[in-house]
Amino acid sequence: MSLAKITQIKALALAVPGDDIDTDRIIPARFLRCVTFDGLGDHAFRDERTGPDGKDRPHPMNTPQAKRAGILVVGFNFGCGSSREHAPQSLWRFGFKALVGGSFAEIFFGNSTALGVPCLTLSKDHLAELSALVQQKPELEVTVDVQNLKVSAGDKVWPASIPASARDGLVNGKWDPIADLLDGAAAVEQTASKLAYVVGK
């Protein structure tokens, strides 16, 4: 199975400030009962975007900019809490193709990159610059350069980081472990046919 090589993403960006935003805030637990992930994008940050009365609250995800943004700028320890893969699924299905933050919870990070959604980190000061710039100039395009480990917007360029194994998987089109297994199915069957405990000899 051939996967896209994800080397660079250019898009408008949306900033959702705040540290320690957990997966329950990203996708409330009541939406985990779905059989498929279809439609989860509609419920990203649902309880922060919508009040008990069903009316929209002031939130970055309710702005016109959110509907056009492909990059989400977040804080530190984003995606902490429970390990629900529904959280990155909801953000991806909302329309975000890359995330930039100070740090990401490990399981959230893994679930995101398995979707082909790179999560790059910036230093505290650089992240604050980017977040402020995105909020001040919503029409400014941001570039997330996975291959060259940098994030840029306008005339600003910030060094970024991502674990080497995740970067290599993204830029080489090897970011989905299930696809890797399917690609190797013939080799697995060939090896299994030689194993006595598999074939029953």
Per-residue pLDDT of 40-86, as tens digits, reads: 889 999 999 998 888 999 999 999 999 999 999 999 999 999 988 99
pLDDT mean over 6-13: 98
Number of domains in the chain: 1
Could you read off the pLDDT of 104-123 as tens digits, one per residue?
999 999 999 999 999 999 99
Q: Kindly state whether residue 195 falls inside one of the protein's structural domains.
A: no
Residue 78 forms part of a structural domain: yes
Residue 1 domain flag? no
Over pLDDT 90: what percentage of the chain?
A: 73
On whether the CB atoms of residues 86 and 40 are closer than 8 A, the answer is yes
Cα–Cα nearest to 165, from 94, 128, 92, 110: 110
For 101, counting Cβ atoms within 10 Å of its Cβ (0-12 exposed, 13-18 middle, 19+ buried), the class is: buried
Question: Is pLDDT above 80 for 136?
Answer: yes
In a domain, 55, yes or no: yes
Q: DSSP state, 45?
A: T
Q: Indicate whether 40 belongs to any domain.
A: yes
CA dihedral 172, 2, 10, 128 (to 10 degrees): -50
Question: Across-strand partners of 69?
Answer: 12
* CATH at 98: 3.20.19.10
Which pair of structure tokens corresponds to residue 80? 């902490």
Residue 135 in any domain: the answer is yes
CB burial class (10 A; 0-12, 13-18, 19+) of residue 114? middle
Whether 39 is in a domain gets the answer: yes
| Residue in 2, 36, 23 with CA at minimum distance from that of residue 175 | 2
pTM of the model: 0.87
Return the H-helix or E-strand segment holding 32: none
**CB within 8 Å of 61: residues ≥ 6 apart:** 14, 16, 44, 45, 48, 49, 94
Which structural domain range is residue 159 located in? 8-173
Residue 124 has pLDDT above 60, yes or no: yes
Choose among 45, 14, 6, 20: nearest CA to 102. 20
Residue 183's pLDDT is 63
For 143-168, write each residue's pLDDT tens digit: 999 999 999 999 999 999 999 999 99
